Structures are given as structure tokens and as C-alpha cells.
Amino acid sequence: MGEFLADIYFWTKSLHIVSVIAWMAGIFYLPRLFVYHVEVVGSGNETDDLFQTMERRLLKAIMNPAMISTWLFGLLLVMTPGIVDWMMIWPWTKAVSIIAMTWFHMWLAARRKEFVAGTNTLAGRRYRIMNEVPTLLMLVIVFSVVLKF
């Protein structure tokens, strides 16, 4: 298995990067949609239905598959011989950040369910603040992987 993973390393790495880009695009955009949904759209009208459709499709058709493929290709990279040295700090900071990013993804999915149920209580400001979480995690992940500290 190790030799096979080494042979397809560049394919795996490329697919991992593409998956991360798609996931991050959704993670940055969905909270923005929530801000507009709260501050401009309101609930119980045609525009509310439109926003709920956009939010659902973004989460289900783009973000969920991108998160799953990010995890899949990332785990394949971890299993590739010679790629990760667990004696260093960087794989641990990246792993913790990825788990936190996954938690944030799930937090967004729970907020979407609140919009569907008409029970959202968070203000646009809260969504703006939470939108900074993936930026911070992205910085930790990128610097960890590139600088390998």
C-alpha cells in the first residue's frame, strides 16, 4: 500500500489542494449568506426561500463533498510513507486546526437548520465575527505545512 501511495503522491496532493480550495470557498461564503439573510432578507418571504435554497445547495452540493474529499485525500497523504513526521509540531497543529475547521463546518450546518426552522437568533454581527474563525485556522494550517515548524 505504501508504494502505491508514493506512486500517486502528486495526484493525491493535487486533489487534496483542490478539495481544500472548494471547502474554504464555501466556509467563507456561507456565513456571508447568513449575514445578508439576517440583516436584509428576514424570514417568511420569497427571498427567504431563495436564500435557504442557496444555503442548502452550497452546504450539500459543494461544502460537504469538499470536506469529505479534503479529509480523504489528506488521510491518504498522511498514510504516504515519508510525508509526515509525527515527531515534529506541524502535523499536530495542522490536525487540531482541521478538526476545528470541521467543527466550524458543523456549526454552520446547525445554523442553517435554524434558518429552515425559523429559529435563528444570531445577529449579522455574530456571523461576521465567526467568519474570522476559518481565516485564523487557514493561517495556522498553511504556515504549519509550508514552514514545517
Q: What's the mean pLDDT in 78-106?
A: 97
DSSP for residue 45: S
> Quick one: pLDDT band at residue 43, thresholds 50, 70, 90?
confident
Q: Residue 2's pLDDT is what?
A: 87
- Whether this prediction's pTM lies above 0.85 is answered by yes
3-state helix, strand, coil in the chain (%, to 5): 85, 0, 15
Q: Residue 120's pLDDT is what?
A: 95
| Number of domains into which the chain is organized | 1
Q: What's the mean pLDDT in 31-54?
A: 93
The percent of residues in the chain predicted with pLDDT above 90, rounded, is: 95
pLDDT tens-digit profile of 59-73?
Answer: 999 999 999 999 999
Amino acid letter, 65: P
Its domain, for residue 112, covers: 2-147
